[in-house]
Amino acid sequence: MKKSDSNYGLFEAKPRVFLGIGEILIALILIGASILLQYYQGDNWWVNLVTAVLTTIASIVGVAAVWELLSKIKFAQFIVNLVDISSNIKKSGIIEYTNNFKSLKWENELKYTKTLKIAFVYGRTWREQNREVLEEFVKKGAIEIALPDYNNENLMRGYDERFNFESGETRKRVMEAEKFFNDLKAKVCLNNKTFLSSYYLMEDHAIMAPFNHLKEKGYVPAIKAEKGGALYDFIEKEIESIFSENK
């Protein structure tokens, strides 16, 4: 991932932390002058007046200089933190985040891959929205999907509770998904694990989407990661683990 030119501009700002030294020196000189005047002031009223003025100016300049210096130190720390975050994102391989999983264009996601491995509970909305895309994809590529084993009553009961479904609703939806993918000539496997997220693994990138546990329908976020990054490796291992225990 190429760093933008703007990042380099931010790094150049770090040495400017020490520009407040000049203001501090001015403040010290004024304070020194006011001390000398205090020493020699005697009964001269004008000396007292000048001393008061110099002391006030020195205080204002000193406070301003210290404030500016602290602000620049905080800014420099912000830049350091920004660099750390950027480095972590690069290592993760994250290339896109969206608040709405439905906004992904799957004709683009599947454009440069010949394999698609999926692990989700039933994906009804996703299937309905992308039926034509998937029908076109299987002409050139292959789909493997892991679904929960609808014969496992305890597993289905757990999903019903999680999704606030009536008893048996998850089983019905999983069986619909199985038929859908069988019609596409996809490899369908049943799994006894409880899925915590949905995974979509392609040759060059992967997508992970969490479940929505709200009773009302809402947007589900999605994270896309390129191959070679830590998140892609994680999703790949998750998929391998799920498929290794499939029926």
* Domain CATH number, residue 222: 3.30.870.10
pLDDT tens, residue by residue, 11-58: 334 444 444 555 556 656 666 666 565 555 555 555 555 556 666 666
End of a domain among 37, 65, 92? 92
Enclosing domain of residue 164 = 96-244
Residues 118 and 146 in one domain: yes
What whole-number distance in Å separates Cα of residue 58 and Cα of residue 26? Answer: 8
Bridge partners (DSSP) of residue 225 are 94, 206
Which pLDDT score is estimated for 56? 65
Domain tally, the chain: 2
Residues 105 and 205 in one domain: yes
> In this structure, which amino acid lies at residue 175?
M
Res. 123: pLDDT tops 70 = yes
Residues 107 and 158 in one domain: yes
**DSSP characters over 118-141:** EE-S--HHHHHHTHHHHHHHTTTS
What whole-number distance in Å separates Cα of residue 220 and Cα of residue 123? Answer: 12
pLDDT tens, residue by residue, 45-103: 555 555 566 666 666 666 666 666 667 667 666 666 655 666 777 788 889 999 999 99
Residues 131 and 185 in one domain: yes
pLDDT tens, residue by residue, 202-231: 999 999 998 876 666 668 899 999 999 999
End of a domain among 92, 107, 123? 92
The residues, ordered by sequence, that sit 6+ positions from 4 with a Cβ below 8 Å of its Cβ are: none
